[in-house]
A and B are shown apart, each in its own frame.
Chain A
Amino acid sequence: MPADPFVTAPPALLTTSDGRPLKAALAQAQGRARRRAFLLVAPLLAFVIFTFVLPIAQMLQRSVYHDGFSANAPAVRAWFAATVPGTPPDETAFAALAQDFRQMKADKTAGLAGTRVNYTLPESRSLFTATARKADDLAPPYRDAFLAISAKWASPAVWQAMRSAASPYTSDFYLIATDFERADDGTPRRVQENQRIYVYLFVKTFVLSGVITLLCLLLAFPVAHLLATLPMARANLLMILVLLPFWTSLLVRTSSWIVMLQGQGVVNDLLVATGVVDDQNRLEMMYNQLGTIIVMTHILLPFMILPLYSVMKVIPPSYARAARSLGATSWTTFRRIYLPQTLPGIGAGAILVFILAVGYYITPALVGGADGQLISNLIDFHMDKSNWSLAAALSAMLLAGVLVIYWLYDRLVGIDNLKFG
């Protein structure tokens, strides 16, 4: 029996001829080369840190931080700090609030503060702006003055909301992003059924991305196989066709799909002209989920083809031949020999397409209509309305979702089983 080549004796501590430990000498010899290598990647490292790591860190911070109230209401904040939660507001509390409102009116920041409280307790923003308008008229006794402006100032819920907004750090945005709200006593509870949108959108985003990934895989597999087996000249031509979408603007590609698929579009016209559907019942393939799926599948297809191709190209044809000579039918050969060897490409392509699809924005925005919108469209919506913290919380959850998928993949398939090109 040949000796097992994988079992070696543990190495003894070696020294160089001048007596230094071999490890130290090696480290010294490699140190220079390593420093030089570091200098080469330093610009990229700096670029990545400033343009990627820092913004993401800032986004994560924003998702739990909002100082709209705490920065503009220092006096009330001091009162909250001095009292235990649940303390009913006394005259000093209202006096502090009046002082803050006068300042907010001068600084025009009442809306900002109200916005923050509004996240915790809806309709608080209008209360704040209305009160700030009359801030100059506030005079002792303050409690009555506030109640004269709005009876809501007596509500414990308002004071509970302000107390929680008095700290700039909060988990409220994550509550909102998972369809929860705070009850009057501050405990989280789910919002009413007809107001739940975020969880549904998250689920829809992940399901649609899964469908798109699957469609991409089904379409890309034969193309990649063809690319890998065709003679060079024709494979190059096909490769150009695959890459062509990369050379056209995303907007152009999406618009051309609109031209193709809309009610009066090319496909419908053709179907009507050939009598497959009649003029009244034109297919609705645009501005809905179907449109989002079709167009995104097309746009993301190259990201599936390329990793698959790079894996298939290096699978020698002799494996298939060996399997055939061993008695396997062509289907068995495909299923048991070829397919398993393409797994690293399938994995890489699927992860790439899925992660891109989960965060995709432009295409659903353009062709999604009402029910083809994904979570990124909602993030955009909140960013438009300057709800930065809520947008950040949604984004962070999206990021977490992607990381979970990545982790699952690692557990099931193994990340080292991934080949991107």
Chain B
Amino acid sequence: MALTARNDAFVAFDGVQKSYDGETLVVKDLNLHIAKGEFLTMLGPSGSGKTTCLMMLAGFETATNGEIRLDGRPINQVPPHKRGIGMVFQNYALFPHMTVGENLSFPLEVRGMGKEERQTRIARALDMVQMGAFAARRPAQLSGGQQQRVALARALVFDPELVLMDEPLGALDKQLREHMQFEIKHLHESLGITVVYVTHDQGEALTMSDRIAVFNDGRIQQLAPPSDLYERPDNSFVAGFIGENNRLTGTVEDIAGGRALVRLATGELIDATPVNVSRKGQPTLVSIRPERVEYKPEALPEGAHTLDAEVLEFIYMGDIFRTRLRVAGSEDFVIKSRNTAGQRMLRPGEKIRIGWAPQDARALDPA
């Protein structure tokens, strides 16, 4: 993984395994190093073990095997209240019998902080999330978005260096969610805290994170910055999970100089960049992003292989056009083109030829 010096990682999972029932491993051999100040997102389908990892870090679950270190110290034996980790829960977990102010005061009181200092800190934390006027309210008297902000303020009020968030925006509507994404990101930058963030919304992960760990089946499938993840997926799971992609299956016909020639099941040849294939004859799955497919002959690179395609459906989406094609026997090949001046609208039934630059098609494992 891409971190320079392993030992100065702020949070480190080393060979961590977790089983709840002694029969199946929910987390299988997790190795993850998170740098100080980093915004790391755990992304993955439901049941892939994200929450479990977070709970082990927070101390509510014990690792069955392996070691978790925080700032160089192993914390397997440290009880949760001594870890000093801020945490935001999906359902906010604001104490219903306390006002907003008392909720924020709680972590400061248990640290034995004096009344005056508590007041200033609470006021600062609430102002940080624009909730200064709500200190006397009960959580039940707040909207979902407001509760979210308070939960965030409560997790930050005692100045933790590490904050864990488990799908904190899951219950909000789309617009509010996007707004909160921006605010959380902003807080992360201005406070310099380390954030481990769990979500299964890939858009959220892509916009907020420094690095994303894609989880599936208890393993990290790929750990990379958002642009790498989107443009250079390591395997077919990541390619399929992040963004929209077109998949063509075939076998490697030739491989040389960082280029692979793939023969599709229907006989056509296409160009691709080999990622998980290394020799001729290997089965492969080629992944191409819809916006990287070209259909105007002049835009295609010199000597690129092209495929015959028939337009099945054309959808006008305002800023982009989305066209569904029949390509090499598959009927769900999608291309996207920007609605630029002079862009041609394709009509259903039209026959076209499509192609792409070899570096935009990735030959992956045939999962």
Residues in A with CB closer than 8 Å to B84 are 327
Task: Give the chain A neighbours of B93 by CB distance below 8 A.
Answer: 316, 318-319, 321-322
A-B contact pairs, 25 of them (CB 8 A): A2-B143, A6-B141, A318-B89, A319-B93, A319-B95, A321-B58, A322-B89, A323-B95, A324-B59, A324-B81, A325-B80, A325-B83, A325-B87, A326-B81, A326-B86, A326-B110, A326-B154, A326-B155, A327-B111, A327-B158, A329-B110, A337-B95, A340-B97, A341-B95, A341-B96
Q: When chains A and B are docked, how far (Å) is the Cα of A319 from the Cα of B96?
A: 9
A223 to chain B, nearest CB (A): 23
Q: Is there an interface contact between A325 and B97, defined as CB atoms closer than 8 Å?
A: no
Could you tell me the distance between the alpha carbons of A319 and B139 in the complex, rounded to whole angstroms? 13
- CB–CB B81/A325 < 8 A: yes
Bound together, the chains give a CA A2 to CA B91 distance in angstroms of: 21
Q: Smallest CB–CB gap between B81 and chain A, Å? A: 5
Interface of A is mostly: helix
Residue of A whose beta carbon sits closest to that of B132: A1
B146/A327 in contact, CB under 8 A:
no
Chain A residue with the shortest CB-CB distance to B97:
A340
Flag whether A60 is at the interface (Cβ < 8 A): no
A336, B141: Cβ atoms under 8 Å?
A: no
The residues of B that contact A319 with a CB separation of less than 8 Å are: 93, 95
Interface size class on chain A is 20 to 34
Q: Does A64 have its Cβ within 8 Å of any Cβ on chain B?
A: no
Q: Is B334 positioned at the interface, with any CB of A under 8 Å from its CB? A: no
A324 touches B91 (CB 8 A): no
Instruction: Report A318 CB to chain B, min CB distance, Å.
Output: 4
Within 8 Å by CB of B133, from A1, A337, A343, lies A1
Contact B107–A326 (Cβ < 8 Å) = yes
Cross-interface CB contact of B110 among A1, A318, A328, cutoff 8 Å: A328
Please tell me if B60 contacts chain A, counting CB pairs below 8 Å: yes
Q: Which residues of B contact A318 (CB under 8 A)?
A: 89, 91, 93
Q: Which residue of chain A is the closest to B82 with respect to CB atoms?
A: A327
Q: Is the CB of A324 within 8 A of B143?
A: no
Quick one: which of A376-411 are within 8 Å of B by CB?
A: none
Contacts of A343 in B (CB 8 A): 97
User: Contacts of A326 on B, CB cut-off 8 Å?
Assistant: 81, 86-87, 106-107, 110, 154-155, 158
Q: Which 3 A-B pairs have the closest CB atoms?
A: A326-B107, A322-B93, A325-B87
**Is B85 interfacial (CB-CB < 8 Å)?**
yes
Question: Closest Cβ of chain A: how far from B176's Cβ, in Å?
Answer: 11
Closest Cβ of chain B to A258, distance in Å, is 44
**Scoring B residues 75 to 112 as 1 if CB is less than 8 Å from chain A, else 0, what string do you get?**
00001111111110101011111000000001100110
Q: Is B7 an interface residue (CB 8 A)?
A: no
User: How far apart are A273's CB and chain B's nearest CB, in angstroms?
Assistant: 44
* Given A327-B110, A328-B106, A332-B110: A321 touches B146 (CB 8 Å cut-off): no
A337 CA / B155 CA spacing, docked (Å): 16
Q: Is the CB of B91 within 8 A of A336?
A: no
* Distance of A332 Cα from B111 Cα, bound (Å): 11
Partner of B89, one of A5, A321, A330: A321
What's the Cα separation between A345 and B111 when bound, in Å? Answer: 30
Contact with B along A1-26 (1 / 0, CB 8 A): 11001100000000000000000000
Query: Do A341 and B97 touch (CB < 8 A)?
Result: yes
> How far does the alpha carbon of A341 sit from the alpha carbon of B139 in the complex, in Å?
14
Additional A-B contact list (9), CB under 8 Å, known A322-B89, A325-B164, A328-B81: A319-B93, A322-B87, A325-B59, A325-B81, A326-B81, A326-B106, A328-B106, A328-B110, A341-B97
Which residue of A has the minimal Cβ distance to B130?
A1
The residue that A329 contacts in the complex, of B81, B86, B94, B154, with Cβ under 8 A, is B81
Interface residues of B (CB under 8 A from A): 58-60, 79-87, 89, 91, 93-97, 106-107, 110-111, 130, 133, 141, 143, 146, 154-155, 158, 164
Q: Which residues of A contact B143 (CB under 8 A)?
A: 2, 5
CB contacts (< 8 Å) of A340 on chain B: these are: 97
Report if A325-B95 is in contact (Cβ < 8 Å); known contacts: A318-B89, A336-B106: no
- With A2-B146, A6-B141, A336-B106 known as contacts, the answer to whether A324 contacts B95 (CB < 8 A) is no
**A325 and B91 contact, CB distance less than 8 A:** no
B91 CB contacts on chain A under 8 angstroms: 316, 318
B86, A325: Cβ atoms under 8 Å? Answer: yes
CB distance from B134 to the nearest CB of A (A): 9
- In the bound complex, residues from chain B placing their C-beta under 8 Å from that of A323 are 95, 106
Q: A328-364 toward B: CB 8 Å interface, digit per residue (1/0)? A: 1110100011001101000000000000000000000
**Assembled-state Cα–Cα distance A1/B133 (Å):** 9
Distance in angstroms between the alpha carbons of A323 and B96 in the assembled complex: 12
Chain B neighbourhood of A5, CB < 8 A: 143
A337 and B109 CA atoms in complex are apart in Å by 13
- List, in ascending order, chain B residues with CB within 8 A of A336's CB: 106
CB B302 to nearest CB in A, in angstroms, measures: 57
Alpha-carbon distance between A321 and B59 when the two chains are bound, in angstroms: 9
Give the shortest distance, in Å, between B3 (CB) and chain A (any CB). Answer: 26
CB distance from B70 to the nearest CB of A (A): 13
Chain B residues with CB under 8 Å of A332's CB are 110
Instruction: Find the residue from B80, B91, B133 having the highest chain A CB count within 10 A.
Output: B80
* Alpha-carbon distance between A328 and B93 when the two chains are bound, in angstroms: 15
The smallest C-beta distance from B319 to any residue of chain A, in angstroms, reads 30
Which chain A residues in 163-201 approach chain B with CB under 8 Å? none
By a CB distance below 8 angstroms, the chain A residues around B164 are: 325
Question: What CA separation (Å) do A2 and B141 show in the bound complex?
Answer: 14
Taking CB atoms, residues of chain B closer than 8 Å to A341 are: 95-97
Q: How far is the CB of A5 from chain B (nearest CB, A)?
A: 6
A253 to chain B, nearest CB (A): 37
A325 to B154, CA, bound (A): 11
Give complex CA distance A321, B89 in Å.
9
Closest to A322 in B: B93
A327 touching B107, Cβ below 8 Å:
yes
* Complex Cα gap A326–B111 (Å): 9
- Shortest beta-carbon distance from B232 to chain A in Å: 36
Of A5, A324, A326, A329, most buried by chain B (CB within 10 Å of CB) is A326
Q: How far is the CB of B260 from chain A (nearest CB, A)?
A: 49
Q: Which residues on the A side are within 8 Å of B82 (C-beta)? A: 327
> Nearest-CB distance from A412 to chain B (Å)?
16
